Structure 1
Amino acid sequence: MTQVAAYDEFAEAYTLENDTSLMNAYYERPAALALAGDVAGRRVLDAGCGSGPLFGALRERGAQVSGIDQSAAMLAHARQRLGADADLRVADLAEPLPFADDTFDDVVASLVLHYLEDWAPTLAELRRVLKTGGRLIASVNHPLMVNLTHRQTGPRPDYFASYTWTDEFELHGRPARMTFWNKPLHAMTDAFTEAGFRISVISEPHPVAEARKRFPDDFDLLDTFPSFLFFVVEAG
């Protein structure tokens, strides 16, 4: 099953999980919004918007948001959330994007790039649609987290290698499989700079404090070892 077909199949379960989970609602999404800061009046592309929770939060903060995703089923949930007038389009981040040059002030790519083996074509397109000085705010699986996870379940992989791996877990009570590409930190930073970006921030955030009460069994591990890695890079 392709990654797109997988998301189409579990779109409803993913949407429900993403809206309330520790990893998304109390860790990744608040961190992305904090890095975005004041977006009022800014034109923002939510690249890989899924069912639209980040799109909605950015819009509530005054941004003019467009969203793209490869999964039509996920975008159907996004349209239910965001309304018929939301600018939502089916698009593949590995292909040319349906926007003119210099369209956006910011692009957010929330837990998206780690699905791609080769970041170069995608980063080139994101650089193209960003205005000079515009920001790409991206989050990915933390390579140390991936390395530690694999060390606990089998032979530890070479941290410096780029490789694909599949994770199996539950989404709102139903089984799901997702396949990712892991890269070491230097490969990520090299990809950004080679695409014409200047690295402004590399962040390893904590979950929000409210998560301690809602998820007492899982909070301490996430609060002391990062699962995601965040970048803010500027288009040169």
Structure 2
Amino acid sequence: MTNSYDTLAEAYSAVNETSLNNAYYERPAMLELAGDVTGRHILDAGCGSGPLFETLRDRGATVSGFDASAGMIDMARRRLGDEADLRVHDLTDPLPYPDAAFDDVVSSLVLHYLRDWDAPLAELRRVLKPGGRLIVSVDHPMANHLIHRMSGRRPDYFAPSKRDEEWDMGGHTAQLSFWERPLGAMTEAFTAAGFRISVIREPLPVPAAREAYPDDFHLLNTFPVFLFFVLHAA
């Protein structure tokens, strides 16, 4: 995955800025769940090229971020400046931050790349202050299941499985792998890591999406693509 995003970094960043799924759906939902972040210290876990980091910072938060892809961190530095606290780091490794360092952690479309959630969630819990929030978005498990069925396969919804995709952006092709798990497995992983689930949300795209993407708006407005959680460190 890291090498794939290094290859796609510039093209993916450009698409992410204005795409229906990212700019009009996922990112607004994450920001709504975050609410007023003035004065809060936030970790952007899997920050990519930094669009969420930038908006949180503009809204008064102190933000740190990391991503496993050096190419994506290079793009983030172009956006955020050399003074931004950015690191190349893999979420599957222990985090380079002290205990209880952050009021919130945001993790935008990251966890579904990981086969094992136990160690990463334990680390995210460790760096949160007691009562701090972990705000997460992931691929919606039922959306993936229905896509598989439409393609003629009959997968077991309850069995975690790997999905491989080939992405072509800006003349570059990369292979990406995703790990699918049912909702129950997600909630069990969160609670086992010491989180209390406060919110599970299936949001709608923002109204401006209708004008920007008139041909695609209806589908996203009637069926969720991503699933969102707000978790509190117990």
Would you say same fold, with TM above 0.5?
Answer: yes
Please give the alpha-carbon distance, in whole angstroms, between the structure 2 residues aligned to 1:173 and 1:224: 32
| Residue-pair matches, total | 234
The CA deviation string for residues 97-128 of structure 1, in whole angstroms up to 9 with x for no partner, is 00000000000000000000110000000000
Matched, 1:142 2:140: yes
Residue 18 (structure 2) aligns with:
20
Residue 127 (structure 1) aligns with:
125
Residue 65 (structure 1) aligns with:
63
- Kindly indicate whether the alpha-carbon contact (under 8 Å) linking 2:112 and 2:138 is maintained by their aligned counterparts in 1: yes
Please give the alpha-carbon distance, in whole angstroms, between the structure 2 residues aligned to 1:114 and 1:172: 24
- C-alpha displacement of 1:173: 6.5
- C-alpha displacement of 1:65: 0.1
- C-alpha displacement of 1:9: 0.5
- C-alpha displacement of 1:166: 1.4
The CA deviation string for residues 179-230 of structure 1, in whole angstroms up to 9 with x for no partner, is 1000000000000000000000000000000000110111000010000000
The CA deviation string for residues 59-112 of structure 1, in whole angstroms up to 9 with x for no partner, is 011000000001011000000000010000011101100000000000000000
Misfit runs of 4+, over 6 Å: none
Residue 211 (structure 1) aligns with:
209
Please give the alpha-carbon distance, in whole angstroms, between the structure 2 residues aligned to 1:149 and 1:80: 36
Residue identity opposite 1:21 in structure 2? S
- C-alpha displacement of 1:169: 4.2
SS where residue 135 of structure 1 aligns? strand
SS where residue 149 of structure 1 aligns? helix
| TM-score normalised to structure 2 length | 0.98
Structure 2 residue ranges without an equivalent (≥5): none
- Kindly indicate whether the alpha-carbon contact (under 8 Å) linking 1:16 and 1:172 is maintained by their aligned counterparts in 2: no
Matches of residues 1-236 of structure 1 in structure 2 within 5 Å? 3-171=1-169, 175-236=173-234
Alpha-carbon RMSD: 1.1
Residue identity opposite 2:131 in structure 1? G
The CA deviation string for residues 160-179 of structure 1, in whole angstroms up to 9 with x for no partner, is 11000012344357544321
Please give the alpha-carbon distance, in whole angstroms, between the structure 2 residues aligned to 1:18 and 1:173: 16
Please give the alpha-carbon distance, in whole angstroms, between the structure 1 residues aligned to 2:140 and 2:13: 22
SS where residue 10 of structure 1 aligns? helix
| TM-score normalised to structure 1 length | 0.97
Is the alpha carbon distance of 1:189 and 1:108 closer, same or farther for their aligned partners in structure 2, counting shifts above 3 Å? Answer: same
- Kindly indicate whether the alpha-carbon contact (under 8 Å) linking 1:17 and 1:172 is maintained by their aligned counterparts in 2: no
Residue identity opposite 2:112 in structure 1? H
Is the alpha carbon distance of 1:213 and 1:174 closer, same or farther for their aligned partners in structure 2, counting shifts above 3 Å? Answer: farther
Please give the alpha-carbon distance, in whole angstroms, between the structure 2 residues aligned to 1:172 and 1:27: 23
Please give the alpha-carbon distance, in whole angstroms, between the structure 2 residues aligned to 1:168 and 1:212: 28
Query: Percent identity over the alignment?
Result: 64
The CA deviation string for residues 120-145 of structure 1, in whole angstroms up to 9 with x for no partner, is 00000000000000000000000011
Is the alpha carbon distance of 1:174 and 1:20 closer, same or farther for their aligned partners in structure 2, counting shifts above 3 Å? Answer: farther
- Kindly indicate whether the alpha-carbon contact (under 8 Å) linking 1:109 and 1:136 is maintained by their aligned counterparts in 2: yes
SS where residue 131 of structure 2 aligns? strand
- Kindly indicate whether the alpha-carbon contact (under 8 Å) linking 1:167 and 1:177 is maintained by their aligned counterparts in 2: yes
- Kindly indicate whether the alpha-carbon contact (under 8 Å) linking 2:7 and 2:174 is maintained by their aligned counterparts in 1: no
